Structure 1
């Protein structure tokens, strides 16, 4: 992120509208002449983008590329029929640009926010992924990262290189942005979602521009205020995006289309003053010349575009009719010649556009795009499970009075008057999301009826109109076992009629359960009336409706939360509780959080005598500057109390680092409220942003709480990690313990090994380098393993390495440690000290491959036990064993058993 100009805002007003460098450039700005008209076209054209509304390249588009050098083309739903056709269309566009000497390829853009009304992703052309509001409900940025990466991959099959998404505006009923396009009203969650999407696009080599940067409020003097910007929640997601180096940002019309007299003292526009100077952002600023902009500006055509460039836009999307576009362009060219648009401003904008294009685009890939490993249909089959999983996670049970749900088979006889009766399904008349294709019913809610029918109920499906409930509907109600009523399209003028129909239904129904499904924002349903059961799916896609049926009949356990909290004032009996809390995550600080963390550990794990940790031991494990980053959620109503803790470490594995999610715990009294999810997401966002971390593991290596999920963990807690994307394996890791005082050395261990020429002894300085070479050769791929041997020299603990020799060559090694030594392992593994003061440990036991299976391992363990016994230790702890047979044959018993999980890409 750029630091911005030298006189950036720091709490005072600006003395001048431009930086010194800008003034100097403008003073030297030489005017263009009519002889330079072709040069002007080439410069200005790169700052323009036009929409393509047909599946073919017509003369208008060809003329805009070859004669006016537009810098980008925006694809719409009407221009996309088949992925192969779109890919060919894009190649033709790029070829036309190359032929006339474009310095960089065209931006081929799309507004793909996913959800119901995105131009791509209807289940036929592209995977149907959930939109922003549903994403805000399931609150898992790792799933969102996977979705955004999958969506970007599918777009790349059509050679699309720029996505104009996501929307970073907070949900506001009066804000002008549809609720379904926002992630909710929590700026922290919106920032996390935006970071996940932009990171995913960047990982796929695709640019993305976020939107829509809002204008600040006006002060009493009419001047736009900037004093309190840092504290306004609506700017927090954009500030975070700027810090992450987002490629570009769309501006609200009130940021760039306003008349000059409404700018800062008639000199600086909001874009120049706020974004460039206040936030120090140097990416691409984009405006869209559409009806909304014309309404704000009071002008249209060329004058609107001119105002956009004067007020700081680097690019404009011109939505003019082809018959009017030439007049608009001529007005822009004349404004450049007359110096209304400065040459210096044009050059600065072109430089910002050039940086983005050089980062993501190349002529080689544009003209001859690389072959995709999988075609779009193959990718859609591959991504289908991810999409369904995300929709299921988004389903939110807002109310479930009298525990009516789930309507599982065993409960139907107790919940329903007629367990074998039928379901009355009432749905609104909703427009099709896409042009109908084969297999798509004209009524999208038929999918819900079929899903209910598949669970063993006959369904009487009766749509209702703006006229509300009729006698036909009332007749169905009287004979129904239960009723499902669906609301949708909260932005539709007829939505109030849906609410009125629902109110009427609540009055005329008998005693049947009424299940209300909000296939849109549920805001109006929260407090306006009493509803026994309210389920939110936020969309009426097939996947969302299938997920709703699964939740109703108990096939899934809904985990979604309402993604906004600005409800109408509820009755006193329905005052919002902590369940509606949006949790802010803080970075762990030792001075502030250590003792509260120890209290949380005791509360979460104090039930087991094996896992007791005091504050001092916890400090040794958590306080690892440079190799750790921990996060906490605090109770806003109790000073200093920690409700959740997540500890992460990094460890070297080859050329890159592995991130470890070492521990995640939440106060038992505050679980199932989103605290664990907030911590989990924050940890993954940190690891994803780290330039050297490629993979993440659940558990940790050094230092270590647990190497995996403890077997004692309740199944529900293990399932929680599975829903977060962790893949459980069928293997286990074991910690073992041996009482040395009761141990007797086996008589048949050293004799046979001595006959083979195998001897044992402690390491000495003379053979230390040989030891390191042996470990490097055989165990360099084991994270942290070789480093523990190397560290012996620095701590003067070389004798802690017990070696096996054959003909004076090292063939095996093991590390022993105790609490009184300097060996780092004694600080990395806390459980020997928990067992007792005179307990040592054994770690990093390994032999050369040709000596495995010959008893060398058992001999090495016995030699290590004798060493610990000679040091006066009473017990031996062995950590991280995947094969416990050797140890059990020598008398060890299992201390801890842990389920392993597969490493995952971040």
Structure 2
């Protein structure tokens, strides 16, 4: 294994090679397919207006032609960032002897990351060599050398640069190098100045950063993200700026909220820490994380730190399989998914259901009734939710119910009664029914306007000799919620942050929408 550092002309360089992938001419036999995966980039229309030959062709076609001069068996397949790596790409990858993956640049204006798609491709490649051709400054993409064994950097995707890259791939541009080593492109970590964000001024940059750093399913509109972030009195957010340009390169969202109904204990939530890819591993995230914890510690009554946020809901916790799980673990967050201790990384899931997939539930068991809450029952519901939340560590649930007081939305609460005793409660909401719950739970409405939600489900009777099984109560409760939401014009259901019952939900027709690690620690 060797590290290579070879500069050719025009700023083109092999800046990292930790496996013997180059030159390809030494690895390939006649008939071996080389798959060229290039991003779908719009041609420059100005060239067509000026009559330039080939101006409207695929900008990466010159690379395919240049490679074919060295090896005729080139298969050029574009990928579209919005569609990702599809089944068609998988078939081509498995037929290839080597894969050349081109990255045109960092994501812009909420586009998906091409680096992430290259990682997906690498996982499919198995033993096949994968060479990254980056048509930009690698510092814009973040540290790649730990992910990809072979990386070629060119300054842009003009035909001359692409032709040089083709020569390097097949070993015909071997001039001595004075080019950059990848380690020199990554600046040493340092401490950065953190300052409080400026709402109206910073939201465009923070929104762009959010879309760069999170999967598409978490791409709320800019207005919705601003609404979730701007919570006077219990939200405080921090940014790191590039000193020379004042550009936002890192952002941390924090909230404080009441843990339960006694209004004494507060939860300090680090809802998100995001860093521009080209500034990662330079201390930006650590500076934000340290500063945020320090500021939350100053607030009287904060007894617990949470990774993620309960309400308002940005992300419930650290996404499962996040590449940053070890990063947070090294900073004393108790992420131990195999442990049975609450708050140590157990999985909590969001679930999605099409009403048409909901199975028939049969006749109602005798003695069990489900219906909307009446006003005179509201205080009893609050007592149940308060008690259940304390026992099970359900942070912020009491407030979600309490905010319905003295409003018609009390009837959004669905009760399950065995005789006259309340054994289950659930809170329904939909985009257009005026419920204040919608302000704190955004993701149902981002999926589609006809997606209603159910949240904060409490099933109170957990005695071993209970007359009706808990699973039966749960199914009947969900059935009643679905009927209520259908009456409001909904056709789909979203349930958030469920900590149990994966197999049961799947058997009932639900699809897992997202999964998180529930992580918190006492101060």
TM-score w.r.t. the length of structure 2 is 0.59
How many residues are matched? Answer: 330
- Residues 1:798 and 1:579: Cα distance change in structure 2 (over 3 Å): same
Name the CA shift for 1:795/1:634 in 2 (closer, same or farther; >3 Å): farther
Q: Which residue of 1 aligns with 2:102?
A: none
CA distance in 2, matches of 1:671, 1:617: 27
Paired position in structure 2 for 1:732: 347
Instruction: State whether structure 2 residue 352 is matched by structure 1 residue 746.
Output: no
Shift of 1:900: 3.0
For 2:379 and 2:326, locate their aligned partners in 1 and report how far apart those are by CA, in whole Å.
46
Q: Which has the higher contact order (CA 8 A, sep 6+)?
A: 2
Matched, 1:646 2:261: no
Measured in 2, the distance between the counterparts of 1:864 and 1:773 equals 21
- The answer to whether the aligner puts 1:896 opposite 2:503 as a matched pair is no
CA distance, structure 1, for counterparts of residue 334 and residue 448 of structure 2: 35
Hey, what's the Cα distance between the residues in 1 that align with 2:358 and 2:470?
23
Alignment check: 8 A CA contact 2:189 2:281 kept: no
Q: Is 1:683–2:292 an aligned residue pair? A: yes
- Say if 2:314 is the partner of 1:702: no
Shift of 1:612: 1.2
1:617 paired with 2:227, answer no
Alignment correspondent of 1:719: 326
Shift of residue 777 of structure 1?
A: 3.4
Shift of 1:862: 0.8
Aligned partner of 2:235 among 622, 628, 646? 628
State the alpha-carbon separation in 2 of the partners of residues 638 and 581 from structure 1. 18
CA distance in 1, matches of 2:186, 2:360: 63
Q: Name the counterpart of 1:857.
A: 474
- The answer to whether the aligner puts 1:797 opposite 2:409 as a matched pair is yes
1:595 and 2:169 equivalent?
no
Larger Rg: 1
Distance (Å, rounded) in 2 between the aligned partners of 1:667 and 1:701: 25
Q: Structure 1, unaligned stretches of length 5 or more?
A: 1-399, 403-409, 412-553, 555-572
TM-score by length of 1: 0.35
Inter-partner Cα distance in structure 2 for 1:597 and 1:729? 31
Q: Deviations over 1:658-711 (max 9, x none)?
A: 111111110111101100000000011012222211211111111112222212
What residue is the counterpart of 2:81 in the other structure?
A: none
Greater strand fraction, Structure 1 or Structure 2: 2
Q: For the residues of structure 2 that align with 1:854 and 1:669, how far apart are their CA atoms?
A: 48
Q: Distance in 1 between matches of 2:432 and 2:485?
A: 12
Q: Is the 8 A contact 1:795 1:823 kept in 2?
A: no
- 1:127-180, Cα deviation, whole Å (9 max, x unpaired): xxxxxxxxxxxxxxxxxxxxxxxxxxxxxxxxxxxxxxxxxxxxxxxxxxxxxx
Residue in structure 1 matched with residue 110 of structure 2 by the alignment: none
Judge conservation of contact 1:729–1:900 (CA < 8 Å) in 2: no
Equivalent runs, 1:16-35 vs 2, <5 Å: none
Task: Identify the residue that residue 832 of structure 1 maps to in structure 2.
Answer: 444
Give the RMSD, CA atoms, in angstroms.
2.8
User: What displacement does 1:784 show?
Assistant: 1.1
Task: Compute the displacement of 1:637 (Å).
Answer: 2.7
Note if contact 1:765-1:798 (Cα within 8 Å) is conserved in structure 2.
yes
Question: How many angstroms apart in 2 are the aligned matches of 1:576 and 1:872?
Answer: 55
Alpha-carbon spacing, 1:657–1:858, altered in 2? closer, same or farther (3 Å): same
Query: Is this contact kept in 2: 1:735–1:879, CA < 8 A?
Result: yes
Contact conserved, 1:795 with 1:822, CA < 8 A, in 2? Answer: no
The verdict on how the C-alpha distance between 1:747 and 1:603 changes in structure 2, with shifts beyond 3 A counting, is closer
More helix by share: 1
Secondary structure, in 3 states, of the residue corresponding to 1:788? helix
Report the equivalent of 1:178: none
- Asked whether 1:841 is paired with 2:453, we answer yes
Does 2:435 match 1:823? yes
After TM superposition, list the pairs within 5 Å mapping 1:61-140 onto structure 2. Answer: none
- For residues 710 and 838 of structure 1, the distance between their equivalents in structure 2, rounded to whole angstroms, comes to 26
Indicate the residue corresponding to 1:262 in structure 2: none
Closer, same or farther in 2 for the Cα pair 1:697/1:859, shift >3 Å? Answer: same
Q: Please, which of 348, 356, 380 is the counterpart of residue 770 of structure 1?
A: 380
Aligned to 2:61: none
Query: Does residue 669 of the first structure (1) align with residue 278 of the second (2)?
Result: yes
> CA offset at residue 581 of structure 1?
6.0
Determine the C-alpha separation between the residues in 1 that align with 2:221 and 2:245: 22
- Structure 1 residues 581 and 723: CA distance shift in structure 2, 3 A: closer
C-alpha distance in 2 between matches for 1:581 and 1:847: 49
What is the DSSP-based 3-state SS (H/G/I as helix, E as strand, rest coil) of the residue aligned with 1:793? coil
- Tell me how far apart the structure 2 counterparts of residues 834 and 872 of structure 1 sit (CA, whole Å): 16
Q: Deviations over 1:56-110 (max 9, x none)?
A: xxxxxxxxxxxxxxxxxxxxxxxxxxxxxxxxxxxxxxxxxxxxxxxxxxxxxxx
In structure 2, runs of 5+ residues without a counterpart are 6-17, 20-145, 147-179, 338-345
